[in-house]
Amino acid sequence: MSKNTLPAGKQEFFPPTPPEGSIGNLRKTNISALGIAFMLFCLVSAGAFGIEEIIPAAGPGLTLIILMVLPFIWARPISRLVAEANAILPREGGPAVIRDYGREDAAGPAGSEASQAMEVSMPMFLAGYKCQAVDEGEDALRQSIVGDLACDALFGDSSPLYIRLYEEGAVNSSLGGNFDMLPGAHYVYVGGDAKDPRRVFEEITRQARKLGEEGIGEDFYRQIRRAAYGGMLRSLNSFENIAVSLTEGYFHGYDPFRFPQVFDTITKDDIAAFLGENVTEERAVLSEIVPK
């Protein structure tokens, strides 16, 4: 299908055809002399792997001979291979592809219920609530924090609902959930083992409606707020968490290290409004596994 035969509104997903003999809209990759110097420094500053062990094992004289010979029997063939491969590949990358996630979904879920009998000792469930998606940028960061706080207030380990259901024996420590964001679709999910999954599901939905109407107690809000803020600070000690946060921020268009400033703009009314608008029966779906 050519570009001219595409329906209106879809032609922008196909970049214009560049003139013959030109590279047109191909992505260009440039690296400065400073960047090359930095990469070379990183490659040679720490030394090759095994240098510290080879000196006491083979002696300094033999170590120097090995280091002088090694570039010719190992590094030189590898560099020739890389140079040959680089000559085969094009100088520039391919055309920039615009992401297309398809048509926007409806406000509610595609279905409301799913059940399956399996060989399990105790019923299990997973409930989801399809939330209103927000724009990219700092609004996405704020929505992410609000969603996480709302989950803590609704069914977190210290929430009144979780404590009551646990004391009644309706759920165990497996109950948990979170707020997540995908392109064009945000959702709250919660699940675990439960004696009566439907009753737990209804209790969660009812508690969300109550918090949305009556609000969250000040003392409890301060408690979950301090816990959430402390958890975000502790995550800065983890290289993996930092990498994930930076990646999510890049794709959603925000700076994840601005979370302290965004945190200060969030109130308990924002949490109550989120629960009242998103964790509702109309936006809910229940999936359960029951024993055969």
**Residue 284: in which H helix or E strand, if any?**
strand 284-291
DSSP assignments along 134-189, one per residue: --SSHHHHHHHHHHHHHHHHHHSTTSHHHHHHHHHTSB-TT-EEEEEEETTEEEEE
16-42 pLDDT, tens per residue? Answer: 454 444 444 445 567 788 888 887 777
Of 110 and 129, the structure prediction assigns the larger pLDDT to 129
Q: How confident is the model at residue 220 (pLDDT cuts 50, 70, 90)?
A: very high
Domain ranges of the chain: 3-88, 113-291
Angle in degrees, CA 111, 113, 114, rounded to 5: 110
Q: How sure is the predictor about 93, in pLDDT bands with cuts at 50, 70 and 90?
A: low
Q: What's the CA gap between 224 and 154, in Å, rounded?
A: 11
Quote the pLDDT of residue 54. Answer: 83
The predicted pLDDT at position 41 comes to: 78
The CATH architecture that domain 113-291 belongs to is 2-Layer Sandwich (3.30)
pLDDT at 223: 94
